[in-house]
Copies of this chain bind each other. A is one copy, B any other.
Amino acid sequence: MYVLGIDIGSTACKGVVMDENKNIVASAVIPSGTGTSGPRKLEAELTAACGIEKSEFSKIVATGYGRQQYEGADKQPSELSCHTKGVVFLIPGVRTIIDIGGQDAKAIKLNAKGKMDNFVMNDKCAAGTGRFLDVMAKVLETEISNLEKLDAAAEDPVSISNTCTVFAESEVISHLSANVSKEDIVAGIHNSVAKRVASLAKRIGIQDEVVMVGGVARNGGVVRAMGEALGKKVVVPQQAQLTGAIGAALTALEL
């Protein structure tokens, strides 16, 4: 018996197939694409990996930004509930979840029982989201996947005084024309994202253990900066990008 949990984000679709013992038997992440192409490709990849048809999933649960457009779901719970469930499954002691996605950022406060107590989110402003990093990578003529390595080699991170993506972009251009190293600029960019998200998260109060998830958590430079901005150890689960899909699959098992 297999269930499918699917998390349709603004930039990537994530899927997890789980058996009745909560084992993850297959998972996949693919770009969201336009319209329904992302979820369709995701299904194709996961059914192929398990050797079954879509109709053979006993339940399907969809979450994320695009969940309402997804056809064939038995339930479409919010991202907040799925991320919480997914993270608690992976790291039972979690009390604060920081989730930075492609176009938004959230902080979730959990009680000792692993239930959501409060949350705060930004989905209006590109600063402090993956989009900020996209804009900066473009200006720096590098790939998002390179940022972590550049951050690790920084010697004297620049300070970026503007929070706004647009104004910060101009600052980065000035630093480049002043021949500041890309490494130091990238570390400053990561500090800027972390500062912004930390100030969001502090509104609900930060308690150990702090877990970071979402696509941006794969960038160790942001995780480094987040730890510094919060003054706390920040844990990233191996499946940081899959927590929403894992939570969706766990929800499917409960149906």
Residues of A within 8 A of B (CB): 103, 124-126, 131-132, 135, 162-167
Chain B residues in 8 Å Cβ range of A126: 164-167
Q: How far is the CA of A166 from the CA of B125 in the complex (A)?
A: 8
Contact pick for A163, options B103, B124, B132, B165, CB 8 Å: B124
Contact pick for A125, options B103, B125, B131, B135, CB 8 Å: B125
Chain B residues in 8 Å Cβ range of A166: 126, 131-132, 135, 165-166
Q: How far is the CA of A125 from the CA of B166 in the complex (A)?
A: 8
Closest B residue by C-beta to A134: B166
Q: How far is the CA of A164 from the CA of B124 in the complex (A)?
A: 6
Chain B residues in 8 Å Cβ range of A165: 126, 164-166
Closest-CB distance, A255 to chain B (whole angstroms): 34
Chain B residues in 8 Å Cβ range of A162: 124
Q: How far is the CA of A167 from the CA of B124 in the complex (A)?
A: 8
Chain B residues in 8 Å Cβ range of A167: 103, 126, 131
Q: Can you list 18 A-B contacts (CB < 8 A)? A: A103-B167, A124-B162, A124-B163, A124-B164, A125-B125, A125-B164, A126-B164, A126-B165, A126-B166, A126-B167, A131-B166, A131-B167, A132-B166, A135-B166, A164-B165, A165-B165, A165-B166, A166-B166
Q: How far is the CA of A135 from the CA of B169 in the complex (A)?
A: 12
Given contacts A165-B165, A165-B166, 16 further A-B contacts (CB under 8 A): A103-B167, A124-B162, A124-B163, A124-B164, A125-B125, A125-B164, A126-B164, A126-B165, A126-B166, A126-B167, A131-B166, A131-B167, A132-B166, A135-B166, A164-B165, A166-B166
Closest B residue by C-beta to A174: B34
Looking at A124, A125, A163, A166, the one whose CB has the most chain B CB atoms below 10 A away is: A166
Q: How far is the CA of A26 from the CA of B125 in the complex (A)?
A: 43
Q: How far is the CA of A167 from the CA of B103 in the complex (A)?
A: 9
Q: How far is the CA of A163 from the CA of B166 in the complex (A)?
A: 13
What 8 pairs across the A-B complex have the smallest Cβ distances? A126-B166, A165-B166, A125-B164, A126-B164, A131-B166, A126-B167, A124-B164, A124-B163
Q: How far is the CA of A195 from the CA of B67 in the complex (A)?
A: 30
Closest B residue by C-beta to A103: B167
